[in-house]
Amino acid sequence: MRMELSEKFDIAIKGVSVKLEEQRVECIAQLEENNMLRSKLKDIADQYNITQQKYAHQLKEKMMELELADLRLQQHQEKAAHEHTQMQLYAEQVSQLMTTEKNLRLQLASDGERFQHFQDALSKSNEVFETYKQEMEKMILVIKNLKKDNEFLKGKCENSDIALVKLIEERELTKKQIEKLKNQKETLESLCRSLQAERKQGRSASIPDAPSSQEDMPATSQES
């Protein structure tokens, strides 16, 4: 019995030892698996943090892009409103310009008729204008000659006070002749105004002052 009990005890001890060894091996395997899982969990956590940071950065960029898009949209809306206002203003200006053009066309037609009447009146005084033109050409020739004389005297009399005095006298004479020409021009303008006044009053009588003016002009030319 003792031997049987000893054998049974040895068998039980061996069975317990085997189970303990199996449990130890299993615990070691579980410990290694836990370490591996812990390492994987850490990697997953690190990857998750990196992903979260990446997503946060991308979200920040998207928010900035959204704000920029909102700002651009607001600018485009303001620009569109400004352009709409400008278009309305341009439309009003175009309408005003069209009205102004219509009025100007009417005014042009009226001025054309007036000009035609004035042209008819001026055609009756061609002799006066021709005389005035001849006098003007004579005075221009005199002025050109005086300018030539003036240039000659300037070159010749740089160091001579006497020549300078003569040059001043020639200039004064030229001024007087130009003044006479201006007076003749004023006479002609007065004659034109008289023609216009007669046209407005509807009178068709001849101009009384024209012959005297024509006679005065050659006399003035002779004096020049």
pLDDT in tens, 82-97: 888 888 888 888 888 8
C-beta of residue 196 within 8 angstroms of C-beta of residue 118: yes
Is pLDDT above 60 for 21? yes
pLDDT at 84: 87
What one-character-per-residue DSSP string does 46-101 give? Answer: HHHHHHHHHHHHHHHHHHHHHHHHHHHHHHHHHHHHHHHHHHHHHHHHHHHHHHHH
| CA dist., res. 212 & res. 220, Å (int) | 12
Is pLDDT above 50 for 215? no
Residues whose CB falls within 8 Å of the CB of residue 191, separated by 6 or more in sequence, listed in order: 125, 128, 207, 209, 210, 213
pLDDT at 220: 42
C-beta of residue 155 within 8 angstroms of C-beta of residue 162: no
